Structure 1
Amino acid sequence: MRFAFACSVLIAAGLGASAVEAQTLQLKPFKDNLFAYPKVMVDEGEDFYRMVDYKKERDIHIRDDVPERRVQPHYVSTGVRKVQEDAVLESPLGKIRHFTVGKTDGAAIITMYLHGQGGSRKQGVDDITFGGNFNRIKNLMAQNGGLYLSPDFSDFAERGTAEIKTLLLHYIARSPSAPVIIGCGSMGGQVCWNLAKDPVIGPRLGGLLLLGSFPDEEFLDSAAFRAKVPVFFGHGGADTVVSVIKQEQFFRSLPGKSPGYPTRFVRFETGSHGTPIRMTDWRAEINWMLAQPR
């Protein structure tokens, strides 16, 4: 599938407008009993900060037929592949390969997943790894009139950010009223923080999910921060790649810099670097973002 890049995309997207207004959309349930968080060990009220009981034996070895490679079949619904396409956007930056799932025009909501180091667009549409969690977000988008995107990009710096911005502008032009929510796995968080600072994309975002990623103090001066774009942090309590303590400290600094800032943190106690990608409840966190006044 190939798309012609339109020079008028900025105008069509209505990017001169302010942040997206409060949303009335709420995602309908999909396998909620299977993907709900385990027992909450610590809750600081209104789900601001939660520590949940993650157990590798239960959440990997019992959940998966083949640990970390193939989830049990009842966690997935593969019929969603009928509305999945491996696409190419032809742009001035070159070809941007990406998967689409759901409505590419007139979508009610747009979500995107950005992979980390060593990943590719294929990770975000893999139905059977990460406990079936990517299959769930695909089904949530398809069943709620939304669009899910999983792209390739050149790097985690300027060029990769420009490619993702170009891709977002293309689909925003086709669904101008759709909130845009981006999940960022590990190093993919660098692109998400870069987009948050972008004066065009930043205030247009409907939310960011930092999944085993890292803090960025420059976010406090970003267009997204000024627009109070909701931010969710999911982190493994035993992550040896990115310190959970540093991420928690950054999370707790946000309301102090902007009273009432919409942010949430889920700490998967004993979880490792990849645990938030497997365990984050997409529906719960996206619905919280959609409910925030903007």
Structure 2
Amino acid sequence: MSTAHFRTAAISCVLFPFLFLASARAEAVGPFKDELFSAQTVIEAGDGGDFTIIDYDEMRDINGRDSIPERRVKDRYVSLKVRRFQENQTLDLATGPMQVGRIGLDQGQAFTVIFIHGRGGDRRLGLNDISFGGNFNRLKNLAAENGGTYYAPSVKSFDEKGVADVAALVAYASARSGGKPVVLACASMGSFICWGLSRDPATVAKLSGMAILGGAPDPALPQSAAAKAQLPIWFTHGSRDSVYAADDQLAIYRKLRGAGQPVRFTLFESGSHGTPVRMTDWRALLNWLVR
């Protein structure tokens, strides 16, 4: 072996372990049915890829994906084996008892995801395997297969009491994991919980990021503790949302991005208020927010 070749080999031996570790850190969450959930067509992109418009078609993404539209997804989209790792619990938190569904480890988890439902929901929504195009089943499997924990709590109210209850759950999950990343995902009116917690520096310090799925815009967010801490936030929204206008949420995204906060926005073209719950790519989202 020549001196040049020896040096190249030596450098490779030194670098490859670091390259492997960098790749492992970049993708904390491995694939699960990516060919069915992640193969989404980007029809427009901007902000260096942080803003994307995704092609959404109801005939394809609902009628073609479900055996009974909006009620039961086709079998190939789900794996019900994950139910072996699912448990309903009543946690004794600092603010009182909270009913949750837990998937994955009870402690020592590599990361935690907490999903907050909207008005009229409870923990059953976030545990539903066969509705919403199987997207919650995918989230459950992603958590279980990658050493994480997924909590779907029943939130009794979306006021200060509800915010305090979820803050206690965030603190509990952070303690059980030994301070590992916690991602808070809030859908629809559940976004009021995320916005309430964004004003709490103690809770923000325990979070690695937030996801807002078809949520209400919060004009005060750019002045929040979350903004000051540069907490990453990923918004997903339907362009035809009749509950919370997409343009209003986009305006918040623009303000945060203009201030240098790490933010992303996925807009589902022609999507309605419920589209983000069905179409959000959980693996992409978690790999950006689990840091």
Q: Which residue of 2 aligns with 1:288?
A: 288
Structure 1 residue aligned with 2:200, among 175, 179, 198?
Answer: 198
- After superposition, give the CA deviation of every residue in 1:196-250 in whole Å (9 maximum; x if it has no partner): 1112111221111110002112222222211111111111011111101111111
Query: Once the 2 structures are TM-superposed, how far is the Cα of residue 92 of structure 1 from its aligned partner?
Result: 5.0
Which residue in 2 is equivalent to 1:123? Answer: 125
Alignment of 1:191-230 (within 5 A): 191-230=193-232
- For residue 185 of structure 2, the aligned residue among 183, 186, 190 is 183
Match of 1:148 among 140, 150, 160: 150
2:263 is matched with 263
Aligned to 1:272: 272
Distance 1:45 1:223 in 2: 24
Query: Following the alignment from structure 2 to structure 1, what is the Cα–Cα distance between the partners of residues 129 and 271?
Result: 21
* Kept in 2: contact 1:37–1:52 (CA 8 A): no
How far apart are the structure 2 equivalents of 1:234 and 1:25? Answer: 20
Kindly state the Cα deviation for residue 176 of structure 1 after the two structures are TM-superposed: 2.0
- Contact (CA 8 Å) 2:104, 2:144: kept in 1 or not? yes
What amino acid maps onto 1:111 in structure 2?
Answer: V
Residue 16 of structure 1 corresponds to which residue in structure 2?
none
Count residues with an aligned counterpart: 267
Q: How does 1:229-248 map to 2 (within 5 A)?
A: 229-248=231-250
Task: Select 2:43's aligned residue among 41, 44, 58.
Answer: 41
Letter in 2 for 1:278: R
Which of 134, 137, 141 in structure 1 is aligned with 2:136?
134
Question: 1 CA distance for matches of 2:105 and 2:210?
Answer: 21
TM-score (norm 2): 0.89
Aligned to 1:18: none
What's the counterpart of residue 99 of structure 2? 97
1:65 aligns with 2:58: no
Distance 1:262 1:37 in 2: 24
1:205–1:224 contact (8 Å) kept in structure 2: no
More deviation, 169-178/140-149: 169-178
CA contact (8 A) 1:84 1:102 kept: yes
Distance 1:242 1:46 in 2: 26
The verdict on how the C-alpha distance between 1:280 and 1:255 changes in structure 2, with shifts beyond 3 A counting, is same
Alignment partners' CA distance in 2, 1:269 and 1:63: 18
Shift of 1:177: 2.8
TM-score by length of 1: 0.88
Higher helix share: 2
Letter in structure 1 aligned against 2:207:
L
Aligned residues: percent identity? Answer: 43
Whether the aligned pair in 2 keeps the contact of 1:232 and 1:264 (CA below 8 Å) is yes
Aligned twin of 1:17: none
Secondary structure of 1:38's partner?
coil
Q: Aligned partners of 1:171 and 1:42: how far apart in 2?
A: 37
Structure 2 CA distance for aligned equivalents of residues 97 and 158 of structure 1: 18
Distance in 2, matches of 1:177 and 1:208, equals 16
Secondary structure (helix, strand or coil) at the match of 2:123 reads coil
TM superposition shift of 1:24: 5.6
Asked whether the 8 Å contact 2:204–2:225 carries over to 1, the reply is yes
Equivalent position to 1:76, from 75, 78, 83 = 78
Provide the rounded CA distance (Å) in 1 between the counterparts of 2:77 and 2:205: 35
Matched, 1:51 2:57: no
Q: Which has the higher contact order (CA 8 A, sep 6+)?
A: 1
Distance 1:243 1:155 in 2: 23
Unaligned runs of 5+ in 2: 1-24
Moved over 4 A (4+): none
Q: Is the 8 A contact 1:210 1:232 kept in 2?
A: yes
* Alignment check: 8 A CA contact 1:202 1:222 kept: no
User: Structure 1 CA distance, aligned partners of 2:51 and 2:96?
Assistant: 42
